[in-house]
Structure formats: structure tokens, C-alpha cells
Amino acid sequence: MSDNKQRIPLKLPSLAFVVCLLISIACWVLVTFSKDYKMTYEYKLVCDNLPEGRKSVTASDTIIELTFNQKGLRYLAKPFTDKEKVVVVSVNDLIKPKHKVSVYTFTNKEMCDFLSTHNFGPELVAVSSPEVLTFYLR
């Protein structure tokens, strides 16, 4: 009776189907990774490099939101994938153009210009939050 069992033939996908599948996957990868992405991340603000004679600095906000313009796999780079995202700001470099006082206020545009020059480069599009960042030096 075992000889009388009919064997069900195993059909493999045709070569044309496999080729079409591979071409469609390649097209999907090409389209997906050629798009421009705007990614917004929260970063913890850490102040460093205080001016001479100053003991400490306090910022009005310790968390800032940064928006980046990335293309394809570049948004998987280290500054964007770290679990603990930290921005170290050199206070001395930040306040150089301002007059010597104890309170310094920066708009999000000024912070974006500074961070794109000193920390992140041209991928940084905007500082989404806060609108105004204030540093108090003692």
C-alpha cells in the first residue's frame, strides 16, 4: 500500500518570479533610501568650557529638540542613534560674540547656527524646542 501512495510534487517558484521579486526588492530599497527624512530628536544639553572667573552655568532648559535632514542610511549615523543623546556646548565659544554679562539669551535660530557650526554640521535643520534658551553664569 505504501507503493500506491501518490507523491505530491513540490513546486518551486519559477525563475521569472524570483527575478521579479529580486528586482522589486532592489527598487524598494532604492526608493526608500533615496528619500529625504526630517528626524527630530531630544538631546540633553551639557555645558562645558566656562569662561574664566565663572564657576557654574545654568540653562533655562536642559532638553532641546533638534531636527535633522537626512538622506537614506545616513540618519543611522552615531549622533542620531545613541540611546543617550547628549549635546556638549562650549559656553565660552557660544557667548564670545555677546557682551560680558551674567545672563545670555539665544533664539533657536542662533542656537541652530552655533550647533551646526560646532557640533553637527549641515544636517542640522532647526532647533525645534525651546524657542529661546537662556544661560545664567555665576
- The DSSP annotation for 4-42 comes to TPPPPPPPPPPHHHHHHHHHHHHHHHHHHTTSEEEEEEE
Q: With respect to residue 28, please indicate whether it lies within any of the assigned structural domains.
A: no
Whole-model pTM: value is: 0.71
CA 121-123-37 angle, 5° bins: 170
17 domain residue, yes or no: no
Q: Would residue 76 count as lying in a domain?
A: yes
Share of the chain above pLDDT 90, in %: 26
Beta-bridge partners for 44:
63, 86
CATH code at 70? 2.170.120
In a domain? residue 81: yes
Q: What is the pLDDT of residue 34?
A: 81
Within-domain flag for 9: no
What is the predicted pLDDT for the residue at 54?
Answer: 83
- The answer on pLDDT for 91 being more than 80 is yes
Position 2 scores a pLDDT of 53
Domain count of the chain? 1
Has residue 88 been placed in a domain? yes
- With respect to residue 93, please indicate whether it lies within any of the assigned structural domains: yes
**Domain interval for residue 130:** 36-137
Higher pLDDT, 128 or 76: 128
Domain assignment present for residue 19? The answer is: no
For residue range 37-88, list pLDDT tens digits in order: 888 889 999 999 888 888 888 898 899 999 988 777 665 565 566 678 888 9
